[in-house]
Amino acid sequence: MRNLSSPAADDRHFAINGNKQEEYAQNNWMLVSLPVELYNQVNEKSTVASITGTLDEKLNVAMTATNVVVGEAADFAPNTYCAINFMGESSVKGTNPEYASSYYFATPKTNEFANVVWAVYNATDGAFYLPVRQGSANAQEFKAAFKVDYSLNSTPAPELIDGDMYTFEALIKEVATTEAKPAPRKTAYDSTTAPSKVAYDSTTAPNARFVVFPLNLNGSSNITTSISEVNSSAQKAKTIRYFNTLGSKSSHPFKGFNIMMTTHTDGTTTAVKVLHHH
C-alpha cells in the first residue's frame, strides 16, 4: 500500500547528497515471505493484487504467503535514508548555530525496503555513523548512528573498513522497546588524519528504535566517495551512474529508459531520465 506524503509548507528540510527530502513515498509495509514457486512468479516491477497466507509477526507485521495474484507491472524506487532517519524523531536540530531551525525528517515504516546512504562504518562498535561536517555535507552538523543485523545480508560477515562510507539496500525493522537510550560513548573517533577516510563523531549512541538489515552489503562494491574530497565547485561532474527500471546500476547506459545520476564535486547530485537506443 503506497501513500505519497509531502511535508507541510513551513517545514524545513535536510538534504541527503544534495537532494532535498521534500517529497517522498511514505509507505505502510508488510513483510511477506514467499516460497520458491511463488517467488518465481514475482519480479521487481510486479504489482501484487492479492496475497493469501498466515500472519507470523504482529508487531512488525509479517506473513508467509500461500498464494499470490500478480497484477500489472509498476515502477518502484525505494526511499533514501541516512542515520538521522533512524533516530525515531520527526524534528531534529543540528549543533551548528548557523542552522538553528528545526528540520523535518521521514522516519521509515515497519519492514520498509530502503536505500541507505552516508553510512560511515565504525569498527569499534560495528555501527554506522553520519559523517562530520565537511563543506556543504552535513552542514547542520547532525549526529546520528544506527546498528545493523547481517542475518539477511548476501554476505553473512562483510569485511568493512573503519572510516569508509557505504551505500547499500536494506530492510528496516522497528523495535518495540521502552528502554532508555544508551548513554553516549565517551570517546570521539577522529579519522581526519587519514585522507581516504571519512571523519565521524562516535559520541552519539546508535538509536535502538530501528534495526537496519543490510541486503547487499559486501565491502568494497558499496563504498561511496569520501566527502573529504569534496570541493566548492558544484559545476564539475565527478561520477555519472545509470540506473535501469529494475534498479540495476552501471557506469554505462542501459538500453531503454535510464535514470542518469550525476554526482558533482561538491557532493550534490542531479538525476534525469534518459532514453538510450543502443
Report how far residue 254's alpha carbon sits from residue 126's, in angstroms, rounded to the nearest whole number. 36
Asked if residues 133 and 95 have their Cβ atoms less than 8 Å apart, the reply is no
Phi, psi (5° rounding) for residue 227?
-70, -10
Q: Are 106 and 210 within 8 A, CB to CB?
A: no
**DSSP strand pairing (112-121 vs 79-81):** parallel
27 pairs with which residues across the strands? 2
Put simply, whether the predicted model's pTM sits higher than 0.85 gets the answer no
Is residue 235 predicted with pLDDT exceeding 70?
no
Residue 259 above 90 pLDDT? Answer: no
On the question of pLDDT at 191 being above 70, the answer is no
Q: What is the pLDDT of residue 33?
A: 87
Q: Collapsing DSSP states into helix, strand and coil, what is residue 220?
A: helix
3-state secondary structure of 38: helix
pLDDT bracket for residue 95 (50, 70, 90): confident
The rounded percent of the chain whose pLDDT value lies above 90 is 14
Which of 72-86, 113-127, 134-148 ranks highest by mean pLDDT?
113-127
Rounded Cα–Cα distance for residues 18 and 13 (Å): 11
The size of the chain, in residues, is: 278
Contact status, residue 109 vs residue 28, Cβ threshold 8 Å: yes
Give the cell for residue 183. 548513554
The mean-pLDDT minimum among 24-28, 195-199, 232-236, 248-252 falls in 232-236
Burial of 50 (0-12, 13-18, 19+ CB in 10 A): exposed
- What is the per-residue pLDDT for 46? 79
Query: Where does the pLDDT of residue 122 fall: very low under 50, low under 70, confident under 90, or very high at 90 and above?
Result: very high
Average pLDDT over residues 34-42: 86
Residue 157 has pLDDT above 70, yes or no: yes
**DSSP state letter for 37:** H
Q: Are 191 and 228 in contact (CB under 8 A)?
A: no
pLDDT band at 123, cuts 50/70/90? very high
Lay out the sheet containing 46-57: strands in order across: 31-33, 62-73, 46-57
Percent pLDDT > 70 in the chain is 72
pLDDT of residue 116: 92
Say yes or no to pLDDT of 21 above 70: no
> pLDDT band at 239, cuts 50/70/90?
confident
> Which is more confident, 152 or 179?
152
**pLDDT number for residue 258:** 78
How far apart, in whole angstroms, are the C-alpha atoms of residue 237 and residue 240? 7
Whole-number average pLDDT of the chain: 75
